[in-house]
Chain A
Amino acid sequence: MATLCKNCGHALIFDPSIQKVRCEQCGSTFLAEEVESESKKYVQDQKALSMQQVYGQSAEGTAKEYLDCYIYTCGECGGEVMINGTEVSTKCVYCGNPTVVFSRISKQECPEFIIPFAITKEQALAAIKTEIGHGLFVPKAVQSFTPESVHGIYIPYWIVDADRYETMIIRKTTSNGKNTHTSYHGRSGTMRIKKLPVDACTMLSDESSTRLEPYDFSKMVMFDEDYLLGFYSNTSDLTYGDLTQAVNARSKAMFDEAALESVKGGRKKIVKEVGNCAIDPDVKYALLPAWFVTFEHEGQHNTILVNGQTGKVVCGLPIRKALFYTLLIITCIVLVTLFVFIGYHIFDSVMDYYVSRRSRRSSSSSNNNSGKIVVGLIACGIAMAAAGIKKIKNVFAKLRLTQSTKTFNFTKKRQE
């Protein structure tokens, strides 16, 4: 049901630029907390009906398609609004008025906190344009893309405090010439983790949601339904098992990183470890804002995410592969030729030097140093190539994430 303006009765929406709910009809603005007592007198607990209850038993074989859909009646125009599994707020497909499904919030766990949108739709689009507008390998069509859809969505998160306890053995290997020295380091301790956000929506991949971080939790306010007006939102569909698993994995990675940092130098690896994670009982349930901007490029749907509080843009963009590979191959040929040319002259002169030195002294003084330099240069080249290939693969992985059907489906199944 839409929250109505007490002056003209038109539906209100939340305006991130002024951090208030605003009536588009008469221009009145109200604090989200302010309208609560007035407008919610009209709130009635509307009951969601399943698709089957509305349209009767569907034909055999098609039931699964509608299992997770619910029909609400728009409080403004009476139109039927269809929402999927965990949506809490949406827009009426007929009159465009924002709709908050109060009964769903009251029947499921109510969020305790919310970070209201601070970035408007226009600001989000401007941030994207600025970010991707000058990429060398970004196709021109993408640089000047036209958004297919722009959705402001509140993502449900569990905000977790936890203690991570771990005991581990770290093996450190250091090389000194021909000698390799191995040492073992025992580490045991506790790490206190505070306000770790865990994405509570299984429809959105964790990899996407973690890249939206960090959020500034000092701007978090008590949850009020009126912050949802004009935006989409979902409720948590994460089980407690999933939550503990996510916190465990994340806290372990944090602990391991910090423990490895405590051992200086060398190549380090954890060879043995035992640990566990205790989550504090007062897990907070909050809605955090994000803009989802989708566009199509060469038949692929791409979804760019923008942190709705900080404006951080998260995406992997399509690549001008022909240009990239051509330039890469040309550069490889040029650089290899250049290094071989330089190397030839260096080796030639070095060998001349050794030959003349041997003939003078007739002694086999060690040329170990030049051998070490050669091996070192080869190793350095291989390491650089590996690092470069890793970076290229990472960009392709992020592109796959931007083009993933899961992320696209999360935003596309919304009423426009």
Chain B
Amino acid sequence: MNGVALFFAIIVGAPLGLGVAFTLFGSLLNRSNNHGDSVGENRIYTGGIIFSSQEDKKLYKTDAQNEYISLHAKSLPTDPVFKNPSARVVRRMPQPEKPAAPTAAYAATAAPEAAAQAAPAGQGFPSSTAFPAAPAETPEPAAQVDPLAQGYSLPDPTMQGFSAPAAPQAPTAQDYENFDNYIE
């Protein structure tokens, strides 16, 4: 028996035999026990890259690479809606599901129940980050109770028998919570 030939046969045959066996059984096991192992392919969600620059084989040096990156890298505007709170729109349900518009009394008394309804803290989007809806379904903000403006007008100091209205109370944290619960 040729010892050298046997040695070479083992070092070649062993990896090949193991390789073929593992490939075969890996495929068999995958076919038998793994189903639906795919995610949405790129082509479903995108039409591909629109290249603004392609440079081949000119970037051997680190400096050249850095220069290429700094020359072509630019930032896109990121999520303008969420950085501008005024652009946020609250989505609302159609009229039949909507609770009756709150009155000042509602706002004052419904707080405990409304607070119980609110999502647990830290979950979901903040109430003001909901997504755009049909404009017709969004009630006018003016129709809501403004705790700051209610019952306040400038007094005329020349009027007889005038008694100044009570100074408006600064809104408390509870007022804001009530207001937010209605908005939600």
Verify if A112 is at the interface (C-beta below 8 Å from B).
yes
A380-B16 in contact (CB<8A): yes
The reply to whether B99 and A381 form a contact with Cβ atoms under 8 Å apart is no
Choose the segment among A23-31, A129-137, A356-364 that binds chain B (4+ C-beta atoms closer than 8 Å).
A129-137
Pick the interface stretch among A87-95, A144-152, A235-243, A403-411: A235-243
B26 touches A315 (CB 8 A): no
A137 and B28 in contact (CB under 8 A), knowing A67-B120, A194-B45, A384-B23? yes
Contact B22 A388 (CB under 8 A): yes
Cα A285 to Cα B76 in complex, Å, equals 24
Provide the residues of chain B in CB contact with A273, threshold 8 Å: 69
* A40 and B59 contacting across the interface, CB-CB below 8 Å: no
Q: A107-B118, A336-B13 are in contact. Are A391 and B27 (CB under 8 A)?
A: yes
B50 to chain A, nearest CB (A): 5
Chain B nearest CB: distance from A187 CB in Å? Answer: 6
Q: Which residues of A contact B87 (CB under 8 A)?
A: 281
Assembly CA distance A348 to B4 (angstroms)? 8
Residue A342, interface by CB 8 Å: yes
Count how many chain A residues have C-beta atoms less than 8 Å from C-beta atoms of the other chain: 133
Tell me the bound Cα distance from A86 to B120 in angstroms.
10
Q: Whole-angstrom distance between the alpha carbons of A390 and B130 in the complex?
A: 43
Q: Is B164 an interface residue (CB 8 A)?
A: no
B55 and A186 contact, CB distance less than 8 A: yes
Q: Is the CB of A190 within 8 A of B52?
A: yes
Q: A135–B46 contact, CB under 8 A?
A: no
Q: Is the CB of A237 within 8 A of B33?
A: no
Q: Flag whether B162 is at the interface (Cβ < 8 A).
A: no
Is the beta-carbon distance between A185 and B46 smaller than 8 angstroms?
A: no
B103 proximal to A (CB < 8 A):
no
Contact of A331 among B25, B34, B35 (CB under 8 A): B25
Is there contact, CB below 8 Å, between B69 and A278? no
- Chain B contacts for A259, CB-based, 8 A: 49
Is the Cβ of A186 less than 8 Å from the Cβ of B54?
A: yes
B154 to chain A, nearest CB (A): 39
When the two chains form the complex, which single residue of B19, B34, B44, B52 contacts A188, counting CB atoms closer than 8 Å? B52
B150 CB within 8 Å of chain A? no
Given contacts A131-B35, A210-B39, contact A47 B117 (CB under 8 A): yes
- Which residues of chain B are near A331, meaning CB under 8 Å? 21, 24-25
Which residues from chain B contact A77 at a C-beta distance below 8 Å? none
Select from chain A the residue with minimum beta-carbon distance to B92.
Answer: A110
CA distance A257 to B37 in the complex (A): 18
Interface contact B35-A43, CB-CB below 8 Å: no
In the complex, A305 Cα to B36 Cα: how many Å? 9
Write out, one digit per residue, whether chain A residues 34-48 have a CB within 8 A of any chain B CB (1) or not (0): 001100110101011
Q: Are A394 and B46 in contact (CB under 8 A)?
A: no
B124/A274 in contact, CB under 8 A:
no
Please count how many residues in chain B sit with their CB below 8 Å of the partner chain's CB atoms.
Answer: 96
- The segment from A8-16, A55-63, A162-170 that touches chain B is A162-170
| Partner among A103, A284, A316, A332 whose Cβ is within 8 Å of the Cβ of B21 | A332
Contact B9 A385, beta carbon cutoff 8 Å: no
Query: Smallest CB-CB separation from A259: which chain B residue?
Result: B49
Contact among B49, B75, B184 with A262 in the assembled complex (CB-CB below 8 Å): B49
Residues of chain B within 8 A (CB-CB) of A238 are 124-125
Evaluate contact between B59 and A340: CB separation under 8 angstroms. no
Q: Is the CB of B29 within 8 A of A324?
A: yes
CA distance A327 to B26 in the complex (A): 12
B124 touches A188 (CB 8 A): no
Which residue in A107, A317, A332 is a CB contact (below 8 Å) of B35? A317
Q: Is the CB of A381 within 8 A of B15?
A: yes
Report B-chain residues with C-beta under 8 Å of the C-beta of A49.
116
Q: Is the beta-carbon distance between A239 and B12 smaller than 8 angstroms?
A: no
Rounded to whole angstroms, the CA-CA distance of A388 and B23 in the bound complex is: 4
> Sorted from nearest, which 8 A-B pairs have the closest CB atoms?
A388-B22, A381-B15, A384-B19, A391-B26, A336-B17, A343-B9, A339-B13, A314-B36
Listed A/B pairs (16) with beta-carbon separation below 8 Å: A112-B91, A185-B59, A186-B54, A188-B52, A210-B39, A239-B124, A278-B78, A319-B29, A319-B33, A331-B21, A332-B22, A340-B9, A343-B13, A344-B13, A347-B12, A388-B26
By a beta-carbon cutoff of 8 Å, the part of chain B in contact with chain A is: 2, 4-6, 8-42, 44-60, 65-66, 68-69, 72-82, 87, 91-93, 96-99, 113, 116-120, 122-126, 129-133, 184
Residues of A near any B CB (own CB < 8 A)? 36-37, 40-41, 43, 45, 47-50, 53, 67-68, 85-86, 102-110, 112, 131-132, 135-138, 163, 165, 167-169, 183-197, 210-214, 225, 235-240, 244, 254-255, 257-259, 262-263, 271-279, 281-285, 305, 312-319, 324, 327-328, 331-332, 334-344, 346-348, 351, 374, 377-378, 380-385, 387-392, 394-395, 398-399
11 additional A-B pairs beyond A169-B65, A189-B50, A336-B21, beta carbons within 8 Å, are A183-B57, A186-B55, A186-B59, A186-B68, A195-B45, A254-B46, A259-B49, A335-B18, A339-B14, A387-B23, A391-B29
